[in-house]
A and B are shown apart, each in its own frame.
Chain A
């Protein structure tokens, strides 16, 4: 291990911290809606405030999306790796759960209708 190696490693860690900071200052707000896309096309838009269960038909199988307590998560998936079911519930703007085998993306977004903007301004 040389001194340069150490500097390089510290540089990467600093970059990671910086990226994390930038992301949280500028992008992370509580989201209002959940957008579900399958293979790039929009499948459904749901509100985080309403508790629901939605079966999503993906490219190779079916996933079950659950919304409760203002957060969304995948409770069931028939793909072999089950990565999306292990993902923690998402609720913040920009957070997402991705199921690669079924090409399903669940993403939290802000509600950007005029009414919502007025509510913030008031």
Chain B
């Protein structure tokens, strides 16, 4: 039992580190389409999707919050944290609910997560900067969808190839 628990703690710690570093790597990449800032691949979401399946929803939620706080305190500021938190939490909630229905694969779940992430950020932008931003929304739907699908495919491959005894001895 003790061994089992410490293994889980180690894996979880590694996932937090991974999500953190992937967020950092992503912040270094140039924007994909310069006319539409805010389009991102959401690399850190890959870790969250894998965590959702491998460790469970409670752990995935803690991971989401930790990632947002770590990234904001290290590289960002309060405004960025607000945007990032709204996107991340909404994305997690949608993915969690869709996973509960058991009707979708990682691809569908991660796609919805990507779209939800963009909607969450848009909501904060709407309240802080005004309604003029709404014309971005259709583009953010599509970009969230595409990046979500890519992350979902990568997540499915990862889940298939990660050793089965990663958590359970």
- Please pick, from B115, B129, B145, the residue contacting A105 in the complex, using a CB distance under 8 A: B129
Binds A, one of B18-26, B66-74, B104-112: B104-112
Within the complex, the shortest CB–CB distance from B105 to chain A, in Å, comes to 5
The 8 A CB mask of B8-23 against A (1 = contact, 0 = none) is: 0000000000000000
Residue B115 contacts which of A12, A86, A107 (CB distance < 8 angstroms)? A12
| Partner-contacting stretch, out of B41-49, B133-141, B161-169 | B133-141
- Looking at the assembled complex, report how far the CB atom of B62 sits from the nearest CB atom of chain A, in whole angstroms: 26
Q: How far is the CA of A3 from the CA of B28 in the complex (A)?
A: 36
- The distance from the CB of B150 to the nearest CB of chain A, in whole angstroms, is 12
User: Would you call B108 and A5 a contact (CB within 8 A)?
Assistant: yes
Inter-chain CA distance A27–B34, complex, in Å, is: 23
CB A48 to nearest CB in B, in angstroms, measures 15
Verify if B142 is at the interface (C-beta below 8 Å from A). Answer: yes
Q: How many residues of A contact B (CB 8 A)?
A: 27
* Cα of A8 to Cα of B144 in the assembled complex, Å: 13
Q: Contact size class for B?
A: 20 to 34
Q: Does B6 contact A (CB under 8 A)?
A: no
| B117-163 contacts to A (CB < 8 Å) | 129-135, 137-139, 141-142, 144-145, 149
Per a CB cutoff under 8 Å, which of B37, B107, B145 touches A13?
A: B145
Secondary structure dominating the interface of B? helix
Contact between A95 and B105, CB atoms less than 8 A apart: no
Asked whether B107 lies within 8 Å of A1 as measured between CB atoms, the reply is: yes
Report whether B135 and A23 are in contact in the complex, using a CB–CB cutoff of 8 Å. yes
A13-B145, A20-B138 known; A2-B132 Cβ under 8 A: no
CB-defined A-B contacts under 8 Å, sample of 27: A2-B105, A2-B108, A5-B108, A8-B104, A8-B108, A12-B111, A12-B144, A13-B141, A15-B141, A16-B137, A16-B138, A16-B139, A16-B145, A19-B137, A19-B138, A19-B141, A20-B138, A23-B134, A23-B135, A23-B137, A23-B138, A83-B34, A83-B37, A87-B35, A98-B129, A105-B129, A105-B132
